[in-house]
């Protein structure tokens, strides 16, 4: 079963603002699914990939 997260949950995990997460979705950095005009859900696996990518680039 696929686990989805809201932009707010992603923001808390990555220590950024929810607006930043929404911008990343809009810019194509994180793939997301839209359920209506205001509801965005992001797969947990995609968030983990981004977090791993961020760790590699920081080193």
Domain around 32: 4-58
Average pLDDT of the chain, as a whole number: 89
State how many domains the chain has. Answer: 1
Average pLDDT for residues 31-58, to the nearest whole number?
85
Reported as a pLDDT band with limits 50, 70 and 90, residue 52 is: confident
Report phi then psi at 42, rounded to 5. -120, 135
What interhelical angle do 7-14 and 44-58 show, nearest 10? Answer: 30
Q: Which CATH number goes with the domain that contains 14?
A: 1.10.1660.10
CB 24 within 8 A of CB 31: no
CB 30 within 8 A of CB 50: yes
- Taking the whole predicted model, whether its pTM rises above 0.85 is answered as no
What is the per-residue pLDDT for 57? 58
Determine the Cα–Cα distance for residues 20 and 23; give it in Å rounded to an integer: 5
Share of the chain above pLDDT 70, in %: 88
């Amino acid at each position: 079963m696929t686990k989805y997260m809201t932009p707010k949950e992603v923001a808390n995990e990555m220590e950024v603002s929810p607006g930043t997460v929404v911008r990343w979705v809009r810019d194509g950095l994180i793939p997301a699914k839209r359920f209506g005009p205001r509801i965005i859900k992001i797969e947990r696996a995609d968030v983990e990939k981004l977090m791993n990518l961020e760790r590699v680039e920081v080193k």
